[in-house]
Structures are given as C-alpha cells and as structure tokens.
A and B are shown apart, each in its own frame.
Chain A
C-alpha cells in the first residue's frame, strides 16, 4: 500500500476542511480526488505530501508516518502543487537544477535529469528562457517536470491541467500514462470528470470535506447513474414546468437552471417520446452518463458552473 489514510482530518481555525476520510492507494495505481472548489482536495494532498500535519486520524505514506519520517517520505514523492511555486527570475533549466539539489543530487546528475525531464514535457527549446516569460501552460508543464526530478515512486498532482489548452491537456495526459506504465503511482485532483475518467483507475468524489463515493469511473456510473442521459433545453424559465410533463419518461429527471436531464438506459427512446408529446425543446441531446451525473446525483450540484 503506497498511501493509507483512516479517519483523516484537517481544520484551519474554525473551518473543517477534511472531515475524516479513508483512502487507500496501492502501488502502480492512478488515483483521483474529484470534487468542487473547497471540497478539501488540496488539504488532503498537502497531508499526503507530508508538508501539512494531520490533525487527527492515521496516515501512512510508503509505509511511514509523516509526523516522524517526513523527510524520508518527501524524498520519494514528486509534488506538483496547485499554485506553481517556480522561481520566476531563474531560467527553466536553473529551476530544475536548483530543485534537484534539494534532493541531494550532484550538479551533474541534476542537470542531466533536468534535460531528460524537459524533453519529456517538451520544453527543451525553452531551457534557457526565464520562467517569467513562459505561458501559463508551459509553467504547468515545467512544474510537472520539476516534480519528476527525483524519480519519485509516487507523483502527487494537484489540478495538473487547470489552465491548459485542450491540446496541452492531452499531451500531459499522455505523459502521465507513460509514467504510469513505468510503475509510478499517480495521485491527482481535478475538477474535470473527463480527466478523471481518462486517467484514474480509481477515484473518490469529495464534497465538503467528506468522500461521497468511491470506485472506478465505470463502477461509479453504474452504481449512481443510468447508462444514458437525454439533455433537453427549453426556454429559460420553462425547464421547471416541463419537468413534470416528462417525469414518467425516465428513471429520474434532474432540473438544472438551463436544462433538464433525463436519466434512462435508452436516451433515444426518451428523446423520441418527448418529440411524440410535441413538447419541442430548443435542443435535445443524447449522451453517455459521466461522472458529472454521478456527482450531481450525490450532491445535487454540478461540479463546474
């Protein structure tokens, strides 16, 4: 077991950010924390990173207690924090080398690994640029490269793709897949269900400091949603009243401000039935159920507004 937490808690002053969660991550797994703003994802990640002390509960990382073996644990972790903590005034290369030195690497070793990692995240041409001059997405990739300088056993990524354009996101996903193939355990947080579905073997959905569901993406969808969803958009304000008229066409109907969601195993059929009743939505769309639907089901809220 790479990470094992029981009844993990964290509060800041009066705010309880993490309210007793249980998490187990085994070697080679890609594990995700999915949840809205303020769910407690970063607070949990910082405890796992052995930088933020645990208030209560037990936590073991790589078989060690972070309260007594923080340094030993951190030596084997790669950490990519939510906010980039790069040195803006130094070059891309210098950032990596200086950071590598913190892990006790020789200068030669640090710079050869730095070159490798820059190639891995496709920043080789920018090796000499000052970090200040990089785009947001490039900084994010540099943060990932930096977190790999010590060849970690476990890589912690707090919202690795926030702020990346779609192409850069897919590139980063591809890099993370490769790391996983090399046996690196990945732990990441995200707001994006597609990211969680793509990357994670197993994930937990967090809300308000607690875990509301856990499992593989498919398990979660099977357990908490129907196979398909029909989305209907009526005019603004009409969605509420239309919900009653279609209620019998699906297992469950969810009313959002801008649309209705009909949960059913056959979306086309539901869509046809709506049509047959001459209800004429402005648009209708049938799609596969996603983790977003699971989240909506469990919390009554959408993930990203």
Chain B
C-alpha cells in the first residue's frame, strides 16, 4: 500500500495493483483497524482499461493510503465484509457497469444513462425493499416535497405508525458534473465546484483548490489560507444556525426558528461582505483567494460575528433548555455508534454518536490553526445530540473566526498557478459543515485532468438517515431528516 500525506501528490503508478481478492481483504482489514474508506471509484488507466481505486484515511496518523485492482467486468463485493463500501459499489456499478458480486442491494443510485447501452431507467423506478403482512403499508414521498427543498424519493414500509424500513432513492438532481471535468481545468471548472452543493461552496472550492495546489506544489500564502478558513467557518455558522432553526420550526418552537432564520442570513451577509456573494462564490481560486479582508473589514466582521453569535446563543438556549424540546428530541431518531462507524458516517451526524472525526483536526490545512479544544461530540446519536453538536460547533467556529480576524497573517492573496504537471494525483479532505468533502484528482500526460472524483459528505450519510428511521414513528421523519439535512445535489452531482 502506498502511503502519503494529504498535502502531497503522488504518481498514479505508485498505487499498487492487487488481485481482486487481495484488494478486498486489504481494504476490509484496514477499515477493521480504523481506517476510513474516503473514496472508492473506478477510473480509466493510461491504457484505457478501468481500474478500481480505494483511498483510505488514517485519522490518527493524518495520512492516506491507496490501493487498486483491475476488476474486469466484476469482482467480489466488499460490502458484505466492509459496509462502508456499499454506496460506492452501487455507484461504480451504475457508472461503469462493473458488477460487485454478492452485493446485497445492487441498484442504481442516480438513474442516468447506462454504460452498457441498455435502456435508461426512469428516475427512481426500481425494485424497492418491501415488507409483507396484512397490516403493513407503504408510504411514498417525493420527488417534490412540501417545502422549498431539493427533490428525492422516500419509501417507508410501515406497521401502523412505526417505520420498519425507509428506502431513499435519489438522482433527480444529477447534472453530470464529474463527466464534465476530464480535460480540465477550464474556465467552467471552478463554477462546477462552487455549485456542486451550493450550500457548501466553500467546502468544495477549497477541496478543489487544495488538490490542484498539492499537484502543482503551490502553497497559498498564510493570509489566503486564513481568509479561506474564515469563509469556511462562516459557511458552517450559517448552516448550523439554519439547521437548529429548522429543527425548532418542525417542532413548532417558533421563537427560535424565526430568530435563527434571520441570524443565518446575517452570517451569509458576512460572507457577502468578504466577497460580494452570500454563498462565497468568486472568493476561492486555485492559488489563494480573490478578495482581501482589510483591517477595517476585519473589524466590521469581528463586530458582526460577536453580536450575531450572542443572538444565536440566546435563541438556541431558549430552544435546547426548554422541556418541550428536550422531551421531543431526546431518544428520538437515535443512531448506534457501531452503525455510524460501520457505515462510515461523517460530520455532525457521526460526532453526535460519539465518533471523534473532524478533518480540521486530523488533516489541518497548511497555515490554518486548529480550532480550540477537541471536536464536539455527543452521546447517543439522537436528535438532541445532533442539535447539541451543532450548538457546540457554533461556539468553536465563532472563536476560530474571531481569532483569525484578529491576527490575519500577511502574504499575497493569489499566487499564479503553473500548468499542472503530468501524471500526478492528489487527494484533498476538507471538513465542511456537513462533514468531509473529498476530491481525488489525477492529471494525464499533458497535465490536464485525466479523471476527477468528488465525494460529498452526503454520499456517506444518506444511509445513516435510513438506519435512524428503523423503529421510529413516521411522524418523526421530518425532524430526523432536518437533523441530518443532507444534500441531494451533492450526492447526485
């Protein structure tokens, strides 16, 4: 197995190619010993064959490993011995037509054109997991949901009010981003990154730039890195605040929901103060950032962060200290820590189960200080834990933003990017607000993208929501869903 540090690049040829069986055992053993499968995908070799790559992250040692296999048309599925692989294997099957033999539930995840030239499936028209019995009934929801949210399809198998199983079927948001990337980077690339999951613009653009910078051997200035970090934390503050407000809204706890609705916007406006766009578009480019935070702007941001966080604190305390909220959130929608670990969940959803997993600590970006303390974790993985983790992270993020604004280092904003060197590969990991964003990039003989893999945190976490619903009342679904708040477009790409 080849091992490297996240900010370095390597040659694709350095990755050992094992037999399918050795590959399977090596990945499963590493995961048993604590590695995480951050990406698992198929990509073309120079010779035009299709090769499988597994990228493993060792959080404790802050290093990455990779291994590969040439599967032909099929290979023994990893999922039965390594559940973290289950969704990746379905993706590989759907995109490349390579069959993981003995995969327990092999179906499309995005419903796009088939590689084998067979008929394109209609979106989410597939065989669903069903439960039989005279009193069992099925509830189907979506693609168009009640609120202003993205489309997806949910099938509940219910016995009375109790959900026996929920199956989530996505793909409505599939725009085909990854297919557009080979041959790049070009003038469109950064905009695909900015909109891959539009509420995670900072997470994806930074992951993209970090990968390119690793390949090019460019190290952005400490000032550029600090501005990126400020914007990433503002994105987290906005979304965590919004999520807590959304939980309050779904319970009918209106004071907190209306406070948080406003406060979320105040954080977005801080991002707009930095770059003119509320979602951070136009801020991050390979080599650094486009916009500076001058002393006066830093003072204004500092003032706004302090007052806004104070108001968030007030709004969230009202909610989380009320007996009504406690009663509703505690022990509802719980996820066992073993499930979170075995499925490879990331972000607040994993941390709420007690899993210590945060890339800001494990894979810090060059010249970015660690946030104070340790990653926020919860207990029991229920709705309350997911809310509490967010509330704690709001404090940590705000403290980090304040610190960065007070001691902004010097340096140029944007370094020129050279043409990318040929035949290099890099992996980047960014802890965005939903969890880990992972980009894997490889260049061809001319230094253009040979292939490009994007893994949004939602890719890992959708199945976590499925597990949470088992044995839960169907009326708890909206709250459980909000507590994960996953991205459809980030999954569908």
A interacts with B: no
